[in-house]
Amino acid sequence: MSPESVGIDDSQDVLYRLVDRESGEVLITAEDLLDYFMEEDREPPETVTFVRAHQAGRARRKTEWAVLQVVDRQGARIGAYDIGRVSAAFRPESVPSGEDRPDLGYSFFGHTCEYPRAGEIWRQWATRRPVEPGEWARHPSDWHESWLHVVQTAWFDSGRNATRYETGGTAVIDSTAITTRDGFYCALGEAVNGPGGYFGSNLDALFDCLRTMRRDEAAPFRLVWRNFAASREALGGGFTERVLALFEECGVEAELS
């Protein structure tokens, strides 16, 4: 069911839709969220606030299973989170008269997202698509975990699998911006599957991608790892050796330069 069919204003400013999973009915759309993307060690809030909600009064106020959709400026879904049971925490009638875009709270009985920069990254993706080459590396290293989370969430929400889709014969990793293991997986996903691409988020997931690629008889590729010594120093020799062992086991030739 489309947002228009339930009377929700899905203008270019909307970034989030809260949808009943069973019926497809849109409960609320909003331009931003407060207290959903949080530090892992913070106490979860009782209420998540939908900032500048659109036409919320027309939608029902609770559902047993909600999906939080992230949408781009054209209204296309680019990511989603299964939320579980939600209930409106306060009514739009409590907002002062004349406020056409009120902030409305919903009580979430599921989990919030423990990647604090993810909301900012989703906004970038929604505003400037497609993702630019090397965009992840322009953020500080403490953003890379959230960037990798957004990549993985968007990748699988689009219906793609943990495998290789690009057809180029060579994937190139440049160690210049790689200072964390999350950054390594951001770089590897881009090298193998293009900007915004996913190719593992830990060693087990990397092996799954490599194994699936081989099972599906995807075209083989060669990996060029530039300035490998810098990666080994930043990531640890044990980690880089395990990565190289996985590539060798799955038939990927790695050139270290």
Please indicate, yes or no, whether residues 211 and 180 belong to a single structural domain of this protein. Answer: yes
User: Mean pLDDT score of the chain, rounded to an integer?
Assistant: 87
pLDDT of 201 above 90: yes
End position of a domain, from candidates 118, 138, 156: 118
The mean-pLDDT minimum among 80-94, 103-117, 142-156, 159-173 falls in: 80-94
What pLDDT score does 97 carry? 43
Whole-structure pTM value:
0.89
Please indicate, yes or no, whether residues 104 and 134 belong to a single structural domain of this protein. Answer: no
* Alpha carbon distance 80, 73 (integer Å): 16
**Residue 125 domain-assigned (yes or no):** no
What pLDDT score does 218 carry? 75
Please indicate, yes or no, whether residues 134 and 114 belong to a single structural domain of this protein. Answer: no
What pLDDT score does 91 carry? 54
In the chain, pLDDT over 90 holds for what percent of residues?
Answer: 64
Q: Helix count (H) and strand count (E) of the chain?
A: 6, 9
What pLDDT score does 128 carry? 77
Please indicate, yes or no, whether residues 194 and 246 belong to a single structural domain of this protein. Answer: yes
Residues 6+ apart with CB under 8 A from 31: 13, 14, 15, 16, 51, 52, 54, 101
* Closest by Cα among 173, 171, 151 to 162: 151
pLDDT of 7 above 50: no
Mean pLDDT to the nearest integer, 13-34: 92
For 111, phi and psi rounded to 5 degrees? -105, 145
In the chain, pLDDT over 70 holds for what percent of residues?
Answer: 87
**Residue 123 domain-assigned (yes or no):** no
Task: Check: CB of residue 230 under 8 Å from CB of residue 175.
Answer: yes
* Alpha carbon distance 40, 47 (integer Å): 17
**Residue 199 domain-assigned (yes or no):** yes
Q: How many domains does the chain fold into?
A: 2
User: 226 pLDDT band (50/70/90 cuts)?
Assistant: very high
What pLDDT score does 109 carry? 83
Please indicate, yes or no, whether residues 154 and 229 belong to a single structural domain of this protein. Answer: yes
End position of a domain, from candidates 69, 88, 118: 118
Domain residues for the domain of 153 are 130-256
Mean pLDDT to the nearest integer, 87-103: 61
CA-derived radius of gyration, the chain? 21
Write out pLDDT tens, residues 115-170: 999 999 999 999 877 899 999 999 999 999 999 999 999 999 999 999 998 767 89
**What's the distance, Cα to Cα, between the start and end of the chain in Å?**
52
Write out pLDDT tens, residues 24-69: 999 889 999 999 998 876 776 788 999 988 865 555 678 899 999 9
More confident residue, 13 or 90: 13
What pLDDT score does 59 carry? 58
Task: Check: CB of residue 216 under 8 Å from CB of residue 249.
Answer: no
Tokens of 219: 């075209």
What is the residue-wise DSSP string for 43-112? PPPSEEEEEEEESGGGS-SEEEEEEEEEE-TTS-EEEEEEEEEEEESS-GGGSPTT-SS--EEEEESS--
The side-by-side arrangement of strands in the sheet containing 170-174 is 170-174, 222-226, 253-256
Residue 87 one-letter amino acid: S
